Amino acid sequence: MYELTDAARTELVSSKYYNEDLEPSSVSQRTWTTYNITALWVGMCICIPALSLASAAIALGLSPWLAVFNVVLGNIIILIPIQLNSHAGTKYGIPFPVFARLTFGSTGAHVPSVMRGLVACGWVAVQSWVGGGAIAAILGTAFYFFRDNSITVALPGNGAVVVGQLIGFFIFMVFVAWIAYNGFENIKWVQNIGSPILVVVIILLLAWSIALVTGAGYAVGDVMKQGIDWATLDGNGGFVYVFAACLTGNIAFWATMALNIPDFSRYAKSQKVQFRGQLYGVPVPMFAMAFIGAYFAQATKLVMGEAMFDPTNVFYYVDNKLIIIISAIGVVIATLTTTVAANVVAPANGFSNISPQRISYRKGVIIACIIATFVFQPWWIYGSGAAYIFTWMNNYGMILAPIAAIF
């Protein structure tokens, strides 16, 4: 492991490519343990969009177990470049924008930083839309307006956006900006208190799904025994096309982190710590999320006739206000964890890298949140399982894959 000497730091301060946020971390700053890194990944994995990976596959016609296999395979594949790119962050303490300079040069590094940053802004929009739904559910326990999905407004890409969720989206975005603006220690704090609560919330979703099928006269095991829906599959392009598209989408799900993982691995105590933390923190929770997402979607398809793609829609079917509040708070924590750690930090550092003397990390956070709010349209790219897989993840995966290959 290497760190800057005082003499080297003094020389770098005068460079136009330098600011404190891009400075390599010192050995004394590399305090993250295997637990911290595992908790980081568990917190990022346990989120509604991760559940929606399998539920989208169900909605497109795959069987429950094929959907689970597809998610797990995609995450094992993407873990390889994640581990490889983590090495430089831990060894030299450098963030992603500095790492990019090694391959693309000081000026050319702006290209991968900005491209990765813009994709991350799209994820901030999607995650904040999910979080906004949870905020609306909480407010809906006191004000019916927020639970009334008949009150809509026409927006680009969606002619009937629920106003309550739209308001919740803006409120949630303020939370995201505040936590990210105040730095990395706030991220660790959210991870450490959030992970145990998130597990409970996901179990509650599974319990709701089980209650749904047993209440309709089915056995608990009937859900995962369901086969491929060939009619739906053929309508979406056939088995090979759908399976390949879902696999590509699952690989793309963490493609952003495969690029900017040095932003986090630079704080790891050692290579062994970051390797083990990610080995424990990615495949296991993603398998759990895939299973629950598949069970949830197949349960709703079995009972209601159509696979429910977005788990936040469950709030419309729950009458107990206490359960809604507790579950929605859990969703808010889960979504904040993933949004800040996985999607705000990278664009903030990337925008800072464009002009380090003028744009600090904090200014980068504000820019990222503004782009996420006013440029991207989560009500369109997250509006259905097909849009989520085909329109969003497959397209940005094609953009980021060449950059990862160059690294």
**What single string gives the DSSP state of each residue in 109-154?**
THHHHHHHHHHHHHHHHHHHHHHHHHHHHHHHTT-GGGT-TT-EEE
Dist CA 407 CA 350 (whole Å): 16
Residue 65 in any domain: the answer is yes
pLDDT at residue 149, rounded to an integer: 79
Residue 20 in any domain: the answer is no
| pLDDT above 90 coverage of the chain, percent | 36
Number of folded domains that form the chain: 1
Tens digit of pLDDT for each residue in 144-158? 888 887 888 888 777
Residue 81 in any domain: the answer is yes
Q: Read off φ and ψ for residue 19, nearest 5 degrees.
A: -150, 170
- Please determine, for residue 190, whether its predicted confidence score (pLDDT) is greater than 90: no
Tens digit of pLDDT for each residue in 257-294? 888 888 889 888 888 999 999 999 999 999 999 999 99
Residue 364 in any domain: the answer is yes
Cβ within 8 Å of residue 368, ≥6 positions away: 117, 120, 121, 124, 180, 344, 347, 348, 351
Tens digit of pLDDT for each residue in 28-87? 778 889 999 998 888 788 878 899 999 999 999 999 999 999 999 999 999 999 999 998
CATH of the domain at 360: 1.10.4160.10
Burial state string for 272-288 with b = 16 or more CB within 10 A and e = fewer than 16:
ebbbbbbbbbbbbbbbb
Calculate mean pLDDT across residues 199-214.
89
pLDDT at residue 189, rounded to an integer: 62
Tens digit of pLDDT for each residue in 336-385? 877 887 688 778 877 887 777 788 888 989 999 999 988 888 888 887 78
Q: Are strands 158-162 and 152-155 parallel, antiparallel or unpaired?
A: antiparallel
Q: What is the DSSP letter of 273?
A: H
pTM greater than the 0.85 cutoff: no
- Please determine, for residue 119, whether its predicted confidence score (pLDDT) is greater than 60: yes
Ramachandran area for residue 183 (φ above 0: left; ψ -120 to 50: alpha; else beta): left
**Confidence band for 311, pLDDT divided at 50, 70 and 90:** confident
pLDDT at residue 331, rounded to an integer: 84
- Please determine, for residue 210, whether its predicted confidence score (pLDDT) is greater than 70: yes
Q: What is the DSSP letter of 5?
A: -
Residue 356 in any domain: the answer is yes
Q: Which of 346, 325, 291, 318 is nearest to 45 (CA)?
A: 291
pLDDT at residue 15, rounded to an integer: 67
**Confidence band for 6, pLDDT divided at 50, 70 and 90:** low
Q: What is the DSSP letter of 29?
A: G
Q: Which of 184, 198, 199 is nearest to 341 (CA)?
A: 184
Instruction: Give the chain's mean pLDDT.
Output: 85
**CA torsion 288→294→296→298, rounded to 10°?**
-160
Residue 24 in any domain: the answer is no
Tens digit of pLDDT for each residue in 232-253? 999 999 999 999 999 999 999 9
**What is the domain range of residue 100?**
35-406
Residue 29 in any domain: the answer is no
For residue 298 the two structure tokens come to 């197949």
Helices (H), 254-390: 255-260, 262-265, 271-281, 283-304, 321-338, 345-354, 361-374, 378-381, 385-386
- Please determine, for residue 12, whether its predicted confidence score (pLDDT) is greater than 70: no
**Confidence band for 195, pLDDT divided at 50, 70 and 90:** low
Dist CA 60 CA 359 (whole Å): 43
Dist CA 25 CA 44 (whole Å): 23
Dist CA 292 CA 55 (whole Å): 9
Cβ within 8 Å of residue 209, ≥6 positions away: 223, 292, 295, 296, 299, 300
